[in-house]
Amino acid sequence: MKIAVLGGGVGGLSVAILLKQQGFEVELYERHNQLAEIGAGIVCWPNASFVLEQLGVLELVAEVSGKITHMSRFTRDGEPLGSLEIRELNQLMHYDSYAILRKDLMAILTKRALALGIAIHYSHQVIEITGSGVNSQINFSNGKVIAPELIIGAEGRMNSIARAYVNGDNAPIYQGFINWIGIFESSSEVFTELAVADHWGVGERFGIVPVSKSKAYWAGGIATKQIEPLHPARYKQELNEVFASWHGIIPDIIEQTPLTKIHKIYVHDHNPIKVWHKNNVVLLGDSAHAPLPTSGQGACQALESAWHLVNCLVQHSSNLPDACRHYTELRAEKTSSIISVGRQLAQTIFNQDHEFCQQRNLASKHTDYHSALIGMANAWSSGLPLAV
């Protein structure tokens, strides 16, 4: 079976690697002219680490990652609101959790794909998928036309032609908040431990994820209804207007992050869909299930979907429609739940009512984090051979 993967992100590269390892003929087509580096960092939770092991890259990921120990919440003034013990989560799920810069993960996956002989075609922007049944073909903006036996759409959440082909619509939904994201690096050790710090204000949030004792990626977010033009030269000024008076090292992290390593994102997701395939086109990653970053599971679920899709193609090797139906059945409920959880947390974090936020903080202080952690382990292990 000749397979074309559209999109060279985490999901696209991962599914291409897994397909090649199973003997499929696969090529990857990416719209950008080089390895995309949008996004600051990723926490590879244990469910993602399991798939990275199947890809043959977990040891490489561990070498350039931070093995995070716990995740703590604070107010904007540094008052503790509770903490999750990540080491316990790792023990329950039998894999470690790693914080890694997105560019490092992408480099590892790209190198693995190339080592397996997978052709990666850059500067291939899909403009249309036409035809029906096994005759669907992909038309690229450079004039190239291909007609593989299977098309895997993994082009992300913002403009997936494959999602439009399958679903009839691919318009993402703006969820009412901005994230400025950045990568901070210091010449000295800044972080005494590799612990995620999540600071909550009123309609505002600042999170820091150490990758090493001197390096971290971060995200500062605020609620806003309007989508305005982007002005990169103003990003630090915008950040300082919101976070200059926040607790601890937050102002210093903003100040010491080069402007070239700061991006601003008006955050979108997608409503869950029930149909993930049409004819010989099937969706994967954010094209199928795009949760908010507050879910913590975007890249992790893309990795899971890659693993499940390839398993289904192997199990139903003589019946492509059955393979796609089985894959959808395995993935739709879990990813829909994760989209819902991400939205609920975002609505809580970016609520602009002072009284609500006071009650939210009080509830966080009194949360049974041990029980919450067991719930996370069970939810994230679902559908994987990870006995909790």
pLDDT at site 154: 98
Tokens representing residue 106 in the block = 């992408």
Q: Report mean pLDDT in 10-residue bins for the chain, 388 residues.
A: 95 98 97 81 98 98 97 98 97 97 96 98 96 86 96 96 95 96 96 96 98 97 96 97 96 96 96 95 97 96 98 96 97 98 97 98 97 96 89
pLDDT at site 132: 76
Which residues neighbour 333 within 8 Å (Cβ) at sequence distance 6 or greater? none
CA distance 223 to 203: 5
Strand partners, 265: 179
pLDDT at site 135: 77
Taking the CA of residue 110 as centre, how many other CA atoms within 13 Å lie in the half-sphere pointing to its CB?
18
pLDDT at site 376: 96
What is the fold, at CATH topology level, of the domain defined by 2-172+270-381? Answer: FAD/NAD(P)-binding domain (3.50.50)
DSSP letter (8 states) at residue 295: G
Long-range contacts of 82-89 (CB under 8 A, 24+ apart): 82/364, 82/365, 82/367, 82/369, 83/369, 84/369, 84/372, 84/373, 84/376, 85/369, 85/370, 85/373, 86/196, 88/370, 88/373, 89/45, 89/46, 89/373, 89/376, 89/377
pLDDT at site 37: 65
Global pTM exceeds 0.85: yes
Domain ranges in the chain are: 2-172+270-381
Contact at 8 Å (CB) between 81 and 73? yes
| Size (the chain), residues | 388
DSSP letter (8 states) at residue 279: T
pLDDT at site 244: 97
CA distance 321 to 25: 19
pLDDT at site 134: 75
Tokens representing residue 117 in the block = 């002989």
pLDDT at site 39: 77
Edge-to-edge strand ranges of the sheet holding 119-121: 119-121, 25-29, 2-6, 150-153, 281-283, 277-278
E strands, the chain, are 2-6, 25-29, 41-44, 66-67, 70-75, 80-85, 98-101, 119-121, 126-130, 137-140, 145-146, 150-153, 173-185, 196-200, 204-212, 215-223, 262-269, 277-278, 281-283
Cα–Cα distances in angstroms (integers) from residue 102 to residues 39, 109, 218, 304, 347, in the given order:
6, 11, 12, 17, 26
CA distance 109 to 264: 25
265 Cα distance to chain centroid: 14
Most distant CA atoms of the chain, gap in Å: 62
